[in-house]
Amino acid sequence: MFMFGTGWQTRGFELFFASFSVVQAPQSNHIMDTLIANVDSWTFKIEKDLSEQYGALALPFPGMDKSTAAVCQFFNATDGMECKKGNSCPFRHIRGDRTIVCKHWLRGLCKKGDQCEFLHEYDMTKMPECYFYSRFNACHNKECPFLHIDPESKIKDCPWYDRGFCRHGPNCRHRHVRRVLCNNYLAGFCPDGSECKYMHPRFELPPPPEIKDQTPKRPTTCHYCGEVGHKACYCPKMPQEQREATLRMEDLKYRALGYYKHRAHQDGTNNPGGEEAGNFMHQKPPPRPIEEITCFKCGMKGHYANKCTKGPFAFLNSGQRK
- pLDDT at residue 281 in the model: 44
Instruction: Tell me which of 134 and 77 has the higher pLDDT.
Output: 134
| Residues in the chain, overall count | 322
Domain ranges of the chain: 42-122, 155-195, 235-283, 290-321
Mean pLDDT of all residues in 254-268: 53
Q: Give pLDDT, residue 27.
A: 52
pLDDT tens digits for 148-166? 888 778 888 888 888 878 8
**Could you tell me which residue, 214 or 34, shows the higher pLDDT?**
34
The single-letter DSSP state of residue 175 is: B
DSSP conformation letters of 47-97: HHHHHHTTT-PPPSSTT---TTS-B-SS-BTTTTB--TTGGG-SSB---TT
Those residues with Cβ within 8 angstroms of residue 103's Cβ, 6 or more apart along the chain or in another chain: 118, 128
Tell me the pLDDT of the chain averaged across its residues. Answer: 71
Q: Is the pTM of this model over 0.95?
A: no
Distance (Å, rounded) from C-alpha 86 to C-alpha 63?
A: 11
pLDDT tens-digit readout, 126-144 = 888 888 888 888 888 888 8
Helix and strand totals (H; E) in the chain: 8, 2
Of 209 and 112, more confident? 112
Query: What is the spatial distance between Cα 70 and Cα 83, in angstroms, rounded to a whole number?
Result: 14
Per-residue model confidence as pLDDT tens digits over 4-62:
444 444 454 454 444 444 444 455 566 777 777 777 777 777 777 766 666 676 666 66
**DSSP one-letter string for 258-286:** T-EEEE----TTT-TTSS--S-EEEEPPP
**Run of H or E residues at 136:** helix 131-136
pLDDT category of residue 315 using cuts at 50, 70 and 90: low
